[in-house]
Amino acid sequence: MADTQTPQAYLGVEASVSGRFWAARGTNPRHLQHITQQLSLKNVVPDAYADPVARSIAGRGITPETLEHYLKPTLKALFPEPDSFLDMSLLVEAILEALVARRKAYVFADYDVDGATSAAQLVRWFRHMGHELNVYVPDRILEGYGPTEKAFDRLKAEGAELVITVDCGASAHKALDYAASIGLEVVVIDHHLMREDLPKCRVVVNPNRPGCTSGQGNLAAAGVVFVVLAALNREAEKRGLFADRPKPDLTQWLDLGALGAICDVTALTGFNRALATQGLKVMSRLENKGIKALMQVAGLSDPQKTPQLMSVFHSGFVLGPRINAGGRIGRADLGVRLLSTEDEAEALELAQELNELNQTRRDVETAVLEQAVALAEARKLWPTDDPVIVVSHEDWHPGVIGIVAGRLRERWRKPVIVIGIDPVGGVGKGSGRSQTGINLGQAIGAAYEAGILMAGGGHAMAAGLSVSRDRIDELRAFLNDYVSSRTSEEDRRERLEIDAALSGAGATRDLLNHFEVMAPFGQGNPEPVFALPNMRVGYASALKGGHVRCELVDEQGRKIKAMAWRAEDTPVGQALLRPAGAVHVVGRLKADDYMGRNGVQFEIEDIAHIFTS
């Protein structure tokens, strides 16, 4: 159970309109002082902004000793020693052995962005070495996640002599045991949590494998693959394999490493931060024909519209959803093919197909979301005092249930599990999203151990499961009893951490620009969250898609434009559309460059009413 000592409420807000507790992001006073001094002495930011920027940096666990690497994350300084990954030398030996002997090899990839970017890196490296690496990506609906006996039978029949699994395989004991029994050699490159006992395969390289001392457990599979390529280059050079060809420059594929890291929502700290930072610079050159084509079909390839530097936004919200669309509702291998092709015409054709699939995915997602909300209200699953909400229905597409669970968690501020039931077989496939304080993966694991689930697992913030239709009510009761008995009400109350308070006059583009020294933002390095105290709503209007656009006015009459995304039917949206006096507003500053502007707008995260006695 978490520490029950409650910090002081920021601006006195113990429960916002969305039920969240507001707290100042914690900082070490000594670190804060030294970081402020260093920022000023190094002219990183002007003195006027040194304190709020330093406060935000210190609040992310950065110390004076690590500040330089945080501000200037370089591969040279932060690249891990490949051999610090347990059994890296064995993996390199297996791959080079197959390469030299020209054995038929396959990469077996997960169907998401991390799997696609991991596989594409290996395909490109093998291609440079003059050998074809075949690709196999399982169908999400027909085959499910990870290796299966049926897939290995198919690869064996096709003549596979080596299979390299990426972003999957570390926990596929049954399937890998089967592969060994039919004489199919498998090596695993993964990053997911795994048990101490290894599956039967030639080698597993995984920074989250028990006993691995690399300290790189925050890497996505794409980051692990990038380190593997460095190890392959080093050993291949020792063996004279570059006598008739140049050694590949791995930095050309940093864009793939960054894309996997960002879209898999891994912590952008240490080497992973350097990988993302330098990879975004490479991505900005649009040298990868697949990435360039995706930007084009998204309407962002025009130099007037494409930023000088690609951002986390472009990776996570423009490229990522389109690449994922193939695995969610289309052909699972489209992403790998797109990111590994050198043919511009093929890249554009694949990008257009993925773009269309993404639009279909969005339509399906919207329909499932609307059905889930209506069903939860009709069945009195919401509103509820239950700590976990489980909602299920027949024929919900398994490719969107995870996204819908995330949307509902944002709306209801509680862990949510969405289950789509096969009407013929009666088996439900579920995906859940959680929040800090409630370890959903642990709860799902307990339900599996209790015999309620057919399969299940995950991590603290996300989990997946399979369950018989007639046991869903039992699952709901079990999860709520499990979470209630192991967490306090304080644990379950969502906390929103705030970096600093701004006035209407202080929310400027200049301030935003100076906070960019902290980019790239993401998991482990969140964007700064600001409070605008004592504001009133000048006007507000609902837009298509459920967004709410508004104008906030401070006590001196200064105005700032603001937006609350997908908020119309939420407490935040209602507080804007039906204002009832002064409010405190929390959110993030965003650039407003529309029509050549050089301004800012406020992206609203939460609102609290100000009650006067």
CA atoms within 13 A on the CB side of 54: 26
Q: Which value, in Å, is the radius of gyration of the alpha carbons in the chain?
A: 25
Q: Pick from 188, 157, 158: which is nearest to 173 by CA?
A: 188
- Pairing assessment for the beta strands 530-542 and 500-501 based on DSSP bridges: parallel
Only one residue has tokens 């006992």, namely 197
- The letter for the amino acid at 430 is G
Contact call for residues 608 and 531 (beta carbons, < 8 A): no
Predicted pLDDT of residue 387: 95
Give the DSSP letter of residue 539. E
- Pairing assessment for the beta strands 500-501 and 462-468 based on DSSP bridges: unpaired
Q: Pick from 471, 391, 491, 396: which is nearest to 432 by CA?
A: 391
| Cis before 520 (ω within 30) | yes
- Sheet containing strand 462-468, strands side by side: 389-394, 416-421, 427-433, 462-468, 455-458
Q: What is the 3-state secondary structure (H, E, C) of 560-586?
A: EEEEECCCCCCHHHHHHHCCCCCEEEE
The strand pairing partners of 134, in sequence order, are 106
Predicted pLDDT of residue 5: 53
Predicted pLDDT of residue 301: 65
Question: H helices within 137-202, ranges in order?
Answer: 149-157, 173-181
End-to-end Cα spacing for the chain: 36
Only one residue has tokens 């991505």, namely 283
Could you give the C-alpha distances from 245 to 97, 287, 418, 465, in angstroms and in order? 18, 21, 51, 48
Q: Pick from 138, 105, 141: which is nearest to 123 by CA?
A: 105
pLDDT in tens, 70-113: 999 999 999 999 999 999 999 999 999 999 999 999 999 999 99
Distance CA 412, CA 71 (A): 36
How big is the chain, counted in residues?
613
- Pairing assessment for the beta strands 599-609 and 583-592 based on DSSP bridges: antiparallel
pLDDT under 70: residue ranges of the chain: 1-6, 301-308, 612-613
2.40.50.460, 3.40.50.800, 2.40.10.10, 3.40.630.70: which CATH number matches 499-613? 2.40.50.460
Contact call for residues 363 and 399 (beta carbons, < 8 A): no
Q: What is the Cα 111 distance to its own chain's centre?
A: 15
Return the CATH number of the domain spanning residue range 82-355. Answer: 3.90.1640.30
CA atoms within 13 A on the CB side of 529: 22
Could you give the C-alpha distances from 70 to 142, 182, 513, 525, 537, in angstroms and in order? 44, 48, 17, 10, 38
pLDDT in tens, 307-355: 567 899 999 999 999 999 998 888 899 999 999 999 999 999 999 999 9
Q: Pick from 409, 371, 369, 407: which is nearest to 389 by CA?
A: 409
What string of DSSP letters covers 431-465?
EEE--TT--HHHHHHHHHHTT--SEEEE-SSEEEE
Tokens in use for 259? 């894309």
Give the DSSP letter of residue 9. P
Q: Pick from 490, 516, 496, 465: which is nearest to 584 by CA?
A: 496
* DSSP H or E stretch at residue 284: helix 270-284
* DSSP H or E stretch at residue 575: helix 571-577
239 burial level (CB within 10 Å; 0-12, 13-18, 19+): exposed
Only one residue has tokens 């909400």, namely 389
pLDDT in tens, 365-408: 999 999 999 999 999 999 999 999 999 999 899 889 999 999 99
Domains of the chain, residue spans: 82-355, 379-492, 499-613
Q: What is the 3-state secondary structure (H, E, C) of 67-128?
A: HHHHHCCCHHHHCCCHHHCCCHHHHHHHHHHHHHCCCCEEEEECCCHHHHHHHHHHHHHHHH
Backbone angles phi, psi at 195, to 5 degrees: -80, 165
What pTM, to 2 d.p., does this model score?
0.92
- Pairing assessment for the beta strands 416-421 and 162-166 based on DSSP bridges: unpaired
Question: Domain 379-492 belongs to what topology?
Answer: Diaminopimelate Epimerase; Chain A, domain 1 (3.10.310)
